[in-house]
Amino acid sequence: MAIDPLKHLPILPRPVYGSAQALPNQALSYRHQHDWAQLSYAPHGFLHIDTDRARFVALPQRAIWIPPGLSHSVKSTTDTVIRSLYLDTRAIALNWTECRVLVIQPLLHELILTFSTLPIEYDESGPQGRLVQVLIDQLADAPDVDTVLPWPTDKRLLRVCQDQQQYPDTNKTLLKYSQELGISDKTLSRLFLQQTGLSFRQWRQRSRLLAALPMLERGERITDVAIACGYESLSSFIATFREAMGITPRAFALASVR
């Protein structure tokens, strides 16, 4: 099991920390937290971060912001490349209090990669410090993307969500679930909106799309992935995937191959 490299670090040596030479970029699959904000970036492959309330997924050229003190675990596929930054939010003008998935545009991508080559104690008053400030400015302006699967706290609703996760091809209706749970479908529908901010249909669609990602990354046929994730037609799967992810399933699969 990977060990948290920051566990015994009392303070960050600089407001932004993330030297590739000093920081092994590993996915820590056990629950942990940091005293600093974390930006987990996947230039290649994809990773997801689980908290008590949601799963946040970063496709290639996406990153996940994790606020200080939030308990989370990280999982990634075998060939995922991770670049992590740790930021002292008391020293920089950036203090988002919730997890968020961010689009890493080309300039910010290059800034992150360049920063990873700097010395741990970079010169804050010289060109290196100015590069860090541009990085922070670009990060502050990075747009959000909604590859988030919120988790409910209601135990009845959680059973529904877990079933959908385990069997993404199931066509079980909300009415069928409500009958099994002994509550009305209207009550169950209302619970979905209250606890996840999504309707049952929206939550199931997002869950299916996220279930498709590891299959596509493994190189499985797109038609087989569509069927395994409960889509009635290939065209429906492609259109839904492109609308939600911004790329086609084929483009994602190709981007996952180095």
> Over the stretch 164-215, which tens digit does the pLDDT of each residue have?
999 999 999 999 999 999 999 999 999 999 999 999 999 999 999 999 988 9
The backbone torsions φ and ψ at residue 206, rounded to the nearest 5 degrees and listed phi first, read -65, -40
- The pLDDT assigned to 31 comes to 87
- The pLDDT assigned to 128 comes to 96
- For residue 101, pLDDT beyond 60: yes
Residue 22's SS3 state is coil
Give the CA diameter of the chain: 66
By C-alpha distance, which of 75, 65, 61 is closest to 1?
A: 75
- 240 falls within a domain: yes
CA–CA separation, 120 and 134 (whole Å): 18
- The pLDDT assigned to 103 comes to 92
pLDDT digits (tens, 9 = 90+) for 7-45: 667 788 999 998 775 555 566 777 888 899 999 998 877
- Verify that 157 and 243 share a domain, yes or no: yes
- Verify that 32 and 135 share a domain, yes or no: yes
Which pLDDT band, with edges at 50, 70 and 90, does 80 fall under? confident
- For residue 248, pLDDT beyond 80: yes
**Contact between residue 100 and residue 80 where contact means Cβ atoms under 8 Å apart:** no
**Contact between residue 201 and residue 170 where contact means Cβ atoms under 8 Å apart:** no
- For residue 162, pLDDT beyond 90: yes
- Verify that 78 and 127 share a domain, yes or no: yes
Q: Of 81, 116, 140, which residue constitutes the final position of a domain?
A: 140
By C-alpha distance, which of 28, 30, 33, 27 is closest to 46?
A: 27
Domain of residue 94, CATH code: 2.60.120.280
Residues 6+ apart with CB under 8 A from 49: 40, 55, 56, 58, 64, 66, 72, 73, 74, 75, 99
Q: Give the dihedral sign, CA 211/217/219/222.
A: positive
The residue-averaged pLDDT of 56-71 equals: 91
Residue 192 structural domain = 153-255
- Verify that 197 and 247 share a domain, yes or no: yes
Count of domains for the chain: 2
- Verify that 80 and 184 share a domain, yes or no: no
- 146 falls within a domain: no
- Verify that 184 and 237 share a domain, yes or no: yes
Domain of residue 233, CATH code: 1.10.10.60
DSSP string, 211-237: HHHHHHHTT--HHHHHHHTT-S-HHHH
In this prediction, what percent of the chain has a pLDDT beyond 70?
Answer: 91
- For residue 3, pLDDT beyond 60: no
Q: Of 140, 162, 182, which residue constitutes the final position of a domain?
A: 140
- Verify that 121 and 192 share a domain, yes or no: no
pLDDT digits (tens, 9 = 90+) for 109-123: 999 999 999 999 999
**Contact between residue 188 and residue 200 where contact means Cβ atoms under 8 Å apart:** yes
- 28 falls within a domain: yes
The residue-averaged pLDDT of 221-245 equals: 95
- 6 falls within a domain: no
- 105 falls within a domain: yes
- For residue 4, pLDDT beyond 70: no
Which pLDDT band, with edges at 50, 70 and 90, does 252 fall under? confident
- The pLDDT assigned to 145 comes to 87
Q: Of 140, 164, 182, which residue constitutes the final position of a domain?
A: 140
- 9 falls within a domain: no
- 44 falls within a domain: yes
- Verify that 92 and 68 share a domain, yes or no: yes
- The pLDDT assigned to 8 comes to 63
Which pLDDT band, with edges at 50, 70 and 90, does 234 fall under? very high
- The pLDDT assigned to 46 comes to 81
